[in-house]
Structures are given as C-alpha cells and as structure tokens.
Copies of this chain bind each other. A is one copy, B any other.
C-alpha cells in the first residue's frame, strides 16, 4: 500500500519526523491526499485547500508541492475534514472528504472522530489499524470548481518601512504596520544582543 509516492512505512516515518507523532488525522489525511491525487487529471499544476487547520495541512505539505510558505496551500477554518486540489487557473479539481456514512462501518474511528468516547477509553492500536485497513474506504470524492482568485494569497505589493518599529511591511496596510496598529501579540518586547 502506497500513500502518495511513498511506501506506507516511509510515510509513517516522514509524519513522525515532521508532525512529531503519527496522529490518526495524519494517517486519514495521507489517504485523503492520495485519493485526491489519483482522481486529479494528470499533469496539471494544482493548488490545495484544506477545510481544517488540524492535522490535514501537514499531510498536504508532505505529499504535494503545496505548502503554507509557498502559498499553494490555503487553510480554511471550517473544521471539516476535507481537502480539495484544483487546477490553479481554471479552478477545476477534486474534493475528498471524510464520509460520515462510510465511517459507521469502523466503530473505533467513528467513536474517535465524533468524540463519542473519552480519550482513556479509546483504543489507539485498534483506531490506527482500522484507519489503515479502511484506507480510501472512509472517504468520498466530489468534482469541484473554485474561484482561484478568492483563495490565492494576496501579493505583497509595494513595501514601506514602518515609522514606529522601523521594519518593512506591505504599504497597503496603511501608515504604520499592523503590528504597530495594535495587533501585535507581544505583551513585552525589548531588544537584546544576540548570542
């Protein structure tokens, strides 16, 4: 069994190294991306959109050329376990989602995903082996069309230097950077000499 271009064990190794642990969501996510890739027309340049920030984006980043930093992966805060890959100019692509009907055939996965059992009552081994055995069997596929412009990361545009902090920022944000407009998350900030 392969996941994307990796053998199963290679994928597990990659996930542990990148994500820190073999989370169930990374295993389901691996099968999702794999199924999406298999249902995509060949040879196209595609972008990705994940409908949850939890786990799934890491499967996309490991199995496709799309990452957060290169802008080809968009993460939407819907909390649906679904990923779409779409051609970046015409927006046509496929969406793979965790199918609640199919989930019912796998009791441990069903109970875990819908949080029907508390963590100490879950059986991790059984959960993972059900996910592995089910593979694509938990998933369904839709053909979709998106408006690529609405998902694409905005271009940086002209750059200005903020008169308050002295750092560069996108001029379109206004006369000072967003950090100095009160949005920075810092309660304290103080320059120090680097070690």
User: Residues on A close to B: CB < 8 A?
Assistant: 18-20, 23, 25-26, 29, 35, 38-39, 49, 51, 53-59, 61, 65, 67-71, 75-82, 84, 91, 94-95, 97-98, 100-101, 113-115, 136, 139-147, 150-151, 153, 156, 158-159, 161, 165-170, 173, 177-179, 183-195
Most chain B CB atoms below 10 A, which of A56, A69, A184: A69
Say how far A5's CB is from chain B's closest CB, in angstroms: 12
How far is A35 from B193 in the complex, measured between Cα atoms in Å? 11
A-B contact pairs, 16 of them (CB 8 A): A19-B70, A20-B67, A20-B70, A23-B70, A29-B69, A38-B194, A55-B70, A61-B69, A76-B183, A77-B178, A78-B183, A91-B187, A114-B161, A115-B158, A140-B191, A144-B188
Instruction: Collect the chain B residues with CB atoms within 8 Å of residue A54's CB.
Output: 69, 71, 153, 156
Give A153 to B54 CA distance when docked, in angstroms: 9
Asked if residues A145 and B188 are in contact (CB atoms below 8 Å), the reply is yes
Q: How far is the CB of A55 from chain B (nearest CB, A)?
A: 5
Given the complex of chains A and B, what is the CA–CA distance between A179 and B79 in angstroms?
9
B186 touches A79 (CB 8 A): no
Q: Is the CB of A82 within 8 A of B167?
A: yes
Contact of A168 among B65, B67, B114 (CB under 8 A): B114
Tell whether, in the assembled complex, residue A139 and residue B194 are in contact, meaning their CB atoms are under 8 Å apart: yes
Residues of B within 8 A of A169 (CB): 78-80
List, in ascending order, chain B residues with CB within 8 A of A179's CB. Answer: 51, 78, 80
Complex contact B168–A81 (CB within 8 A):
yes
A98 neighbours in B (Cβ, 8 Å)? 167-168
Report the bound CA distance from A77 to B173 in whole Å. 10
Question: Which residues of B have CB within 8 Å of A97?
Answer: 167
